[in-house]
Amino acid sequence: MTLGEKLKAYREREGLTQEELADRLYVTRAAVSKWERDLGYPGIDSLRLIANEMGCTLDELLSEDDAANERRIEERRAMRMYACAVGSFAAAVLFALLAYFLAEPLYCIGAGCGCVAYLVFAFFSKPKWKRMRGNVLYRGIVFFVMLLVVLAVTLAGLLG
pLDDT tens sequence across 60-76: 778 766 556 667 778 88
Which pLDDT value is given to residue 67?
A: 57
DSSP reduced 3-state for 1? coil
CA neighbor of 13 nearest in space, from 64, 67, 56, 65: 56
pLDDT in tens, 86-119: 899 889 889 888 888 888 888 888 888 888 888 8
Does the pTM exceed 0.75?
no
Query: Taking the alpha carbons of 96, 98, 99, 100 in that order, is the dihedral positive or negative?
Result: positive
CA neighbor of 7 nearest in space, from 31, 160, 26: 31
Is the predicted pLDDT of residue 129 greater than 70, yes or no? Answer: no
Instruction: Considering only residues 139 and 31, tell me which one the structure prediction assigns the higher pLDDT.
Output: 31
